[in-house]
Chains A and B, each alone.
Chain A
Amino acid sequence: MARPDVPVTNSRTLIVWGWLAAHAAAHGRHVSVADVCAVAVSSARLGGAWLAAARGGEPDFVMGVTDLVSEQLAELQLTMGEGPCHDVLTSAAPVLAADLGDEEFSRRWPAFTPAARQLGAEAVFAVPLIVGAIRAGVLGLYRSSPGPLPDRQFGDLLILADVATVMLLGSAPGGAAVDDGAGLDGQAPDLALHRAEIDQATGMLTVQLGVPAAEAFARLRAYAYAQDRRLADVAGDIVARRLRLHRDRGQDGGP
């Protein structure tokens, strides 16, 4: 049971969601991948962004781009099979290549680096769209001048990545579109402070439901949303075995 005085939401998350909601509203739609890309670019004053979904742990198809250079950078990596987007999915860690002129990147991506610089990219930042072992995609950005990404902007980028991950998993293939409240009706998704129980419950649900982790995670969120309960609280109940979910949703609830 969450105690009322334990902080459950990170205030920065609410600010970032506010930007997303405002951008979406200005375009007359619910928050989408396009908004994530646009806000990522404007909040960090970068040149452009692209978002690719993953398949089999590799970047697969591009779901959003803000400009031509980003589109070309995304396609370059898919064609060459190398680059920051591949690295982030393999290592499950961001890549902050603040200066593509640094010899480290010529060594790491001998084909991608010169091609990217030819397109005008001098810095590339990529973050994985992941939740533990669940790999949904990658969000990449470039800048036409070298230079680091400040901590605050990096934090915002991570928050945007979390939103994008939830969106991609909310419509996980093989599991039909799951209404988990990931902005499908304009409501901020439950991006409360991280709790280990959420991850443990996800693992437990892979067994209870007999589904892959991505689907288990989507079902957990969907249940919390449908019951209008905090994700952490539902996860706590599952871990404490006060609650089980079932393959047949009609049987959800109870230990």
Chain B
Amino acid sequence: MDTDLLSDTFVDLADTMVADFDIIDFLHLLTDRSVLLLAAAAAGVVLADPRGELRVAAASSQEAGLLELFQLQNDQGPCLECFRTGRPVTAADLAGPGQRWPRFAHAAVQSGFRTVEALPMRLRDQVIGALNLFRAEPGPFDPADLRIAQALADVATIGLLHERNVRRTETVAEQLQSALNSRVVIEQAKGKLAERLSIDMDRSFNMLRDYARNTNQRLTDVARAFVDGATADFPPPARRRSPR
């Protein structure tokens, strides 16, 4: 483990938690750093929506195969088991025989993943989500890495609550819905910007995030204002790429 990167990661996460904190921006940073720190191929934070659905709050990649793997786990898979048991869940070789979750394992291997881990996001006795990690090589995660991974999952939980007084147990449920809706706002903004400038979704997201950071605004607020048509100086007038 790159201990400098580890230190930097916790410093960066802590920094993001001060003014202009945005939960989706924060979770995005967390999944990106999880991939680097844990030598993972992909990572995602999945939240348990009381509607009865596992919803992706942030993922290290928007690749369709990966997102489908999160959705498949509504039926079977490590995240579902993690929610139910409140304990970390591992599968160290998804290509072998006798899989616990055959459909999930098959889809994961098709996407190039051989190992999966789900770490619970816990608050007291409630499991509100999971940090889901995938690796391309078979074999278990290093126990030291898993301790860091659990710490990152715990940081994700703290981020979700973010300075809210958790005196009322309802606060968690309220904050979770707020986070899920923030993601929707950001996805709507991504689509609008991508279409407006004829760019791809990744670039669109980066533009939104950079503009938010440069103007000291929350990513969700920028996204909402942009969707509402209320941002006079964004996107900045630039050379338009020729439409596809």
Query: Are A203 and B174 in touch, CB under 8 angstroms?
Result: no
Query: Are A12 and B51 in touch, CB under 8 angstroms?
Result: yes
Q: Per-position contact with B for A193-226: 1 when CB-CB < 8 Å, else 0? A: 1111001111111111000110000000000000
The smallest C-beta distance from B228 to any residue of chain A, in angstroms, reads 6
Give the interface residue-count category, chain A: 35 or more
What's the Cα separation between A159 and B53 when bound, in Å? 11
Query: Are B182 and A92 in touch, CB under 8 angstroms?
Result: yes
- CB-contact partner of B53 in A5, A94, A193, A204, under 8 A: A193
Query: Are A154 and B173 in touch, CB under 8 angstroms?
Result: yes
Residues of B within 8 A of A208 (CB): 195
Query: Are A202 and B185 in touch, CB under 8 angstroms?
Result: no
Q: Per-position contact with B for A100-123: 1 when CB-CB < 8 Å, else 0? A: 001010000000000000000000
Closest to A125 in B: B170
Query: Are B191 and A202 in touch, CB under 8 angstroms?
Result: yes
- CB-contact partner of A199 in B49, B184, B228, under 8 A: B184
What's the Cα separation between A10 and B175 when bound, in Å? 22
Interface flag for A11 (CB, 8 Å): yes
Known: A7-B72, A93-B181. A207 touches B192 (CB 8 A): yes
Interface flag for A239 (CB, 8 Å): yes
Query: Are A6 and B168 in touch, CB under 8 angstroms?
Result: no
The smallest C-beta distance from B52 to any residue of chain A, in angstroms, reads 4
Q: Per-position contact with B for A134-164: 1 when CB-CB < 8 Å, else 0? A: 1000000000000011011011001100100
Known: A91-B178, A196-B62. A203 touches B192 (CB 8 A): yes
Query: Are A158 and B192 in touch, CB under 8 angstroms?
Result: no
Interface flag for A241 (CB, 8 Å): yes
Q: Given known contacts A6-B71, A13-B52, what 4 new A-B pairs fall within 8 Å (CB)?
A: A94-B173, A96-B168, A97-B170, A200-B188
Which residues of A are in contact with B by a Cβ distance under 8 Å? 3, 5-7, 10-13, 91-98, 102, 104, 127-128, 130-134, 148-149, 151-152, 154-155, 158-159, 162, 193-196, 199-208, 212-213, 239, 241
Which residues of B are in contact with A by a Cβ distance under 8 Å? 49-53, 55-56, 62, 67-68, 71-72, 74-75, 103, 167-170, 173-175, 177-178, 181-185, 187-196, 201, 223-224, 227-229, 244
